[in-house]
A = this chain, B = another copy of it.
Amino acid sequence: LGLIDNRPVTIREVAADAGVGTATVSRALNEPWRVSPDTIERVKASIGKLGYKPNFRARLLARGNSGTVCFLLSNRPFIHSVHGQILQGAASEADLLGVQIVYASCTYSADVKPSQIKMPQILAARGLIDGVIVAGTNYPNLIPVIEELELPYVIFGTNYCDGSGRLPNAVYVDEQEGGYQAARHLLGLGHTKIAFIGDVSLPWYAHRYQGFALAMSEAGIGAPKPIGSAADGAVEMGVRAARQLCESKTDFTAIFAGGDRAAYGAMRMLRKWGVSVPDDVSIVGFDDDEVASMAEPPLTTVRVPTEEIGARCVLMLNDMIRAGAVPEEPAVLPAELVVRASTAAPKK
């Protein structure tokens, strides 16, 4: 019932059956253009007859690489749909490339010494992995630990909390442009009093705010101060920020929340205050996370191209492994506005 019993057939047996050397069988499989058609035919026949499938471990040992990259998901105790989709995209692309993805996860806090960060065993072993994709939410103290592996790596830059600029070996989303689009959408509908919810001490909210602020100032309107603290989670941030907005009797007809969860929390609080979305207040989120389509009304948001992020991470890493060099520039992927039912023109 599904268990291996007999020894699998090896390349030697195929070679014997086809009356050629093992080298020829290997070439017929990997570099067919260097083998005569007749020979290929004979080899293929033997392969079919014997049911031969090459042993990848042996191939990889001979070739000197592992054909495997590690997808390391940091600091995500349970996977948001966004991160699941990134993994999904990475896996699909990897399969196309004939590369396998090993999944690993780790948890650490930003203020701990690098030497105190515990990595999964897999990463410690040599030869198992050709490179690593550093996904999830990360902090600069992880970098020395990753560097110590002496393996090429690419980092999902959007959730990397560094003080400095962009890393070359990274994949980013153009969040600034996304925030800009969100603001343009609201402005285009006729809104001018637009609040921003997001904790700008976190880089993703900061970038989204920047794009928002740019669009506002282009429209000749001053951007409001961002409100919200992410300390108790994104949903709670939205809840509190919306409450603050309502309690302080701020004059606003629209909210741009720097994430769908925050938008969701804000909508919940607005409902409590008897504020109707989108009739009284329009709201746009960011991410196009699962909650965006589950919200009531479904949320207008800015889509982060999750699967493509995963695919690009794999592609970039693969190039780095082959080239043995770090890319000149990071990949920056566009974000896209998705208009649903939570936005409308302001009441006259």
Contacts and interface: CB of A to CB of B under 8 A. Distances in A.
A4 interface: yes
Interface residues of A, number: 63
Contact of A103 (B4, B102, B125, B147): B102
A220 to B, nearest CB: 38
Contacts of A235: 294
A325 B4 CA distance: 10
Interface in A269-320: 290-291, 294, 296, 320
Nearest to A130: B4
Interface in A102-145: 102-105, 120-122, 124-128
A88 interface: yes
A68 interface: yes
Nearest to A58: B61
Nearest to A60: B57
Interface in A79-121: 79-81, 83-85, 87-88, 91-92, 95, 98, 100-105, 120-121
Protomer copies: 2
Interface stretch (A24-32, A48-56, A176-184, A208-216): A48-56
Nearest to A6: B150
A60 B59 CA distance: 12
A230 interface: no
Contacts of A66: 57
A296 B268 contact: yes
Given A2-B147, A91-B105, A290 B8 contact: no
A101 B103 contact: yes
B105 A264 contact: no
Nearest to A269: B296
A33 interface: no
A149 interface: yes
A1 interface: yes
Given A79-B84, A79-B85, A3 B102 contact: no
Given A55-B127, A125-B56, A3 B325 contact: yes
A146 B88 contact: no
A152 interface: yes
Nearest to A291: B294
A338 interface: no
A259 to B, nearest CB: 13
Point out which of A1, A53, A291 has the most chain B C-beta atoms below 10 A from its C-beta: A1
A204 interface: no
A54 B124 CA distance: 10
A51 to B, nearest CB: 10
Interface of A: 1-4, 8, 53-58, 60-61, 66, 68, 71, 77-81, 83-85, 87-88, 91-92, 95, 98, 100-105, 120-122, 124-128, 146-147, 149-153, 169, 235, 264, 268, 290-291, 294, 296, 320, 324-326
Given A1-B147, A8-B127, 11 more contacts: A2-B169, A3-B324, A54-B127, A56-B126, A57-B128, A81-B81, A91-B104, A98-B121, A100-B122, A102-B102, A102-B103
Which 8 residue pairs are nearest across A and B when measured between Cβ atoms?
A: A79-B84, A55-B127, A53-B126, A56-B128, A103-B103, A57-B127, A56-B125, A100-B102
